[in-house]
Amino acid sequence: MTLDELRAYCEKKKGVTYDTPFGPDVLVFRVMGKMFALAPIDHFGSVNLKCDPERATELREQYAGIIPGYHMSKVHWNTVGTTGEVPTKLILELVDHSYELVRASLPKKVREAM
């Protein structure tokens, strides 16, 4: 998976924007202003995604390419490899999962306005 593919996939979701609040090296995807994915720009090889804690643990046990979130809460975030160690279909499923977790945490009024 490439960064352009990730960006194109995320852009199709309702309420998604992206920016570089941590400097020019990290692209942050947000749903209605809340982060759901972070990816390095220059050396794209992984993406940080929010994950249900129980599922996060299971995924780490199943895939060597999924580790606790780099510079993130190790309970709620995973760093997911994008260079072949994790199937692209699973990466996209985990992007969806992260997006839905964050979207569900938004106030009802905000979700309904999307």
CA dihedral 89, 90, 92, 96 (to 10 degrees): 140
The pLDDT of residue 64 is 95
- With H, G, I as helix, E, B as strand and everything else as coil, classify residue 78: strand
For the segment 21-44, what is each residue's pLDDT rounded down to a tens digit?
999 999 999 999 999 999 999 999
Take residue 69 and report the two structure tokens written for it: 């979130």
List C-alpha distances in Å: 110 to 2, 26, 71, 102.
Answer: 31, 26, 28, 12
Is 30 within the bounds of a domain? Answer: yes
Q: What is the mean pLDDT of residues 14-21?
A: 96
Q: Which residue has the higher pLDDT, 6 or 108?
A: 6
Strand 26-31 and strand 16-19: pairing?
antiparallel
CATH of the domain at 37: 3.90.1150.30
Mean of all residue pLDDT scores within the chain: 94
Range of the domain at 39: 3-104
For the segment 78-103, what is each residue's pLDDT rounded down to a tens digit?
999 999 999 999 999 999 999 999 99
- Polymer length in residues for the chain: 114
Percent of the chain predicted with pLDDT > 70: 100
Please tell me the distance from the alpha carbon of residue 70 to that of residue 68, in angstroms, as a whole number.
Answer: 6
Is 111 within the bounds of a domain? Answer: no
Number of domains in the chain: 1
- pLDDT confidence of 112, banded at 50, 70, 90? confident
